[in-house]
A and B are shown apart, each in its own frame.
Chain A
Amino acid sequence: MPAKGARGNGKSEFISKEINKKMSKNEEQFYGMFKEAFDNFSPEVPVHLYDNVRAGMVRTGFAWKKWSAVLLLFIAAATLTWTAWPEGSSSGKSIAKGDISELPIRSAFVEHTVSEPTQVSAVANNSTGFSNGSKQSSASTYKANQQASSIEPLIQQEQETLVRMDEVVPVLNETPIEKAQIENETINEMEPVTIDSGATKVVWPIKVKRTVTIDE
């Protein structure tokens, strides 16, 4: 029996080998048919195709040259601008001229700024809130004190600004009257002004040293 089984196994192996051989042969033949057909396949090429190739080459070359040219032009222009730019033109004067137009707007803002007497006095004196006497309430004093402390840096900042603005002033085409007013007005004129029946109104000179008294 084992011999018969062995013979049976041998037969099946033989058959499978034959099938595989046939399959691989068929596969080789099948692939060979294609390989043979296309191995030296050289179809006729449409004439317009070479024109497209040339156009593609021109485009590629043009694109490269174009971007290179743009880059070189940019570098050249930047270099020329950097070297030929006058030194004085980048100083503060030319920039200050550009800021002149802002002055009237700031002046207008200043002229319409009105503050309450207690607050103003507290701010003007830069006190601790008790300088005007003990009649004032502690709440209003505290509020005024807070405002004073918050405005104080602004005053310093504005003073610094004023220094710069003084440099700007000569550039302005001012009338003689305005010029005289600006020269005469100082930061000391920030004290409250009493008008009629005790109502005090002060214009806070933020940008321009100017105090305006409003006549009622």
Chain B
Amino acid sequence: MTELAELIEGCKKNLRQAQDALYKRFSPMSYGVCLRYTRSKYDAEDIMQEGWVKVFTHIDSYSKDNSFEGWVRRIMINTAITNYRRNLKHAFQEDVEDVPWLEDSSSHPDNEFSREELMKAINGLPNGYRMVFNMYVIEGYKHKEIADMLQIDINTSKSQLSRAKKCLQKELEEMAKVNL
């Protein structure tokens, strides 16, 4: 039995040490996911906390056939989606048409951007754009899957991705000008 399998078995038995070790091993990855899906680190911490409680309380449902890292990542993404839907009811919704339509330059800035700058650009996106962009570009979901998970139309998913890209281009161009 591998070390990870032992940790998972320990978590199933509700052993504190196994939970600590598992958290220590996978928390940086999960925190990175949470940071990408939220606007602020405080929201990311909320999702992280909620997600890890789910991990520990539902670890019995984890199947050994799948990647544990993928399972944890999926839980974090689902928690972020749930949080997004929850906030959708209360938060001010930026209509798609209200977002300034940027000209498609069909090119990306040649400058190299740091991870922090890219993260800042992603965090500046409207919530819907950010969700679709993360799921399509980083996680590699198809538009059909995104539409099912977010309960939106496929065309909405496509248009939001396109507009997210344009917003990001504009933001990165602004950053490039400042850096010069």
Contact = CB atoms under 8 A, between A and B. Distances in A.
A178 interface: no
B23 A50 contact: yes
A97 interface: no
Contacts of B32: 38, 41-43
Interface stretch (B45-53, B84-92, B150-158): B45-53
Given A44-B28, A49-B45, A53-B49, A37 B118 contact: yes
The 8 closest A-B pairs by CB, nearest first: A42-B28, A41-B32, A30-B108, A56-B53, A53-B52, A52-B49, A31-B137, A45-B27
A52 B53 CA distance: 10
A69 B45 CA distance: 32
Interface residues of A, number: 27
A29 B108 contact: yes
Interface string A16-58: 0001001100110111011101110111111001101100110
B49 A43 contact: no
Contact of B53 (A35, A37, A41, A53): A53
A5 to B, nearest CB: 28
Given A34-B138, A37-B115, A52-B45, 4 more contacts: A26-B106, A30-B165, A34-B118, A56-B52
Question: B interface, how many residues as a size bin?
Answer: 20 to 34
B107 interface: yes
B68 interface: no
Interface of A: 19, 22-23, 26-27, 29-31, 33-35, 37-39, 41-46, 49-50, 52-53, 56-57, 60
27 contacts: A23-B106, A26-B107, A29-B108, A30-B108, A30-B169, A33-B113, A34-B118, A34-B122, A34-B137, A35-B138, A37-B113, A37-B115, A39-B138, A41-B35, A41-B115, A42-B32, A43-B28, A45-B27, A45-B28, A45-B31, A49-B27, A49-B31, A50-B20, A50-B23, A52-B49, A53-B56, A57-B53
Residue of A22, A23, A46, A49 with most chain B CB atoms under a 10 A cut-off: A49
Contacts of A35: 137-138
Interface of B: 20, 23, 27-29, 31-32, 35-36, 45, 48-50, 52-53, 56-57, 106-108, 113, 115, 118-119, 122, 133, 137-138, 165, 168-169
Contacts of A34: 118, 122, 133, 137-138
Nearest to B30: A45
A54 to B, nearest CB: 9
A49 B53 CA distance: 12
A52 B48 CA distance: 10
Contacts of A37: 113, 115, 118
Contacts of A44: 28
